[in-house]
Amino acid sequence: DAGVIQSPRHEVTEMGQEVTLRCKPISGHDYLFWYRQTMMRGLELLIYFNNNVPIDDSGMPEDRFSAKMPNASFSTLKIQPSEPRDSAVYFCASRLGTGASGGYTFGSGTRLTVV
């Protein structure tokens, strides 16, 4: 199994530009999570999906952020327009099963720098 695959690994963009982060979960996993990691705020859950349906997006910072999961093998997190304070490492994780017992597998993350 290739694990959770995120792309790109690094992204540098100018303020105001649109940024799209991509995630391929582990095949068969029915939950997908997007986390953001910063020095100031640590690891924050942004949104999670169950069977491709968004369940809880209360962590999405503002309307500039949007996430989609068009099918079971692909999800995107989009920031439009991007701002310097969006600079962070964005992690995708997937899990099989209900409750937290299914075990979460994290991707290697996308390091986003907005200049």
What's the closest the beta carbon of residue 101 comes to another protein, in angstroms? 5
E-strand stretches of 1-115: 5-7, 10-13, 19-24, 31-38, 42-50, 53-56, 65-71, 74-79, 88-95, 104-106, 110-114
Only segment of 11-19, 21-29, 77-85, 106-114 that touches another protein (CB under 8 A): 106-114
Q: Check binding of 22 to another protein (CB under 8 A).
A: no
> Using CB under 8 A, which of 43, 83, 84, 113 touches another protein?
43
Q: Check binding of 8 to another protein (CB under 8 A).
A: no
How far are the Cα atoms of 3, 27, 60 from residue 89, in angstroms, in the given order?
18, 23, 15
Assess contact for 66 and 20: CB atoms under 8 A: no
Complex with another protein: residue 50 or 87, whichever CB lies closer: 50
Cis ω for the linkage preceding 84 (within 30 of 0)? no
> Using CB under 8 A, which of 45, 52, 74, 87 touches another protein?
45
Positions that interact with another protein (CB under 8 A)? 4, 31, 33, 42-43, 45, 48, 50, 55-56, 91, 93, 98-101, 103-109
